[in-house]
Amino acid sequence: MLKQHRRALAWLVGLACVAGAVVALFDIETPLRPFLISLFLLVVPGAAVVGLLRDRDPLAALSVGAAASLVLNVLLAEAMLLFNAWSPRAGVATVAVLGGFMYVLRVLYRGKSMQTEQGARAR
């Protein structure tokens, strides 16, 4: 039962993050705009990093994910200000691309470890 609630919460947060990206990229005015965009910018990088830290202590992985999310957003903002290229849309797009890249790394990493485990079982 608890696993179903976690899965539902994960889907809900995921959909809210997608909505935040859509709202930012297409400049949609809504009262939920600040909440959805902030949720996207804080959750996506952190979730991507936590996904790379499999088989770790959950609290440690969550702490590292939160820190990585803040660091990524601050470095991105600093770089955009340094190069005089401030653009909220570009910031959201960059976070989305980096999050997607980390997701691909996670899939490749897990696929490699799954093949290794299957090879070890066959012996």
Tokens 């999310």 appear where?
A: 69
**pLDDT (mean) for 39-49:** 93
Residue 110 pLDDT more than 80? no
**pLDDT (mean) for 19-31:** 94
Domain range annotation of the chain: 88-122
Residue 30 pLDDT more than 90? yes
Residue 58 pLDDT more than 90? no
Task: Look up the pTM and report it.
Answer: 0.82
Taken in order 75, 23, 36, 96, is the CA torsion positive or negative? negative
What is the DSSP track for 7-68?
A: HHHHHHHHHHHHHHHHHHHTT---TTHHHHHHHHHHHHHHHHHHHHSTTS-HHHHHHHHHHH
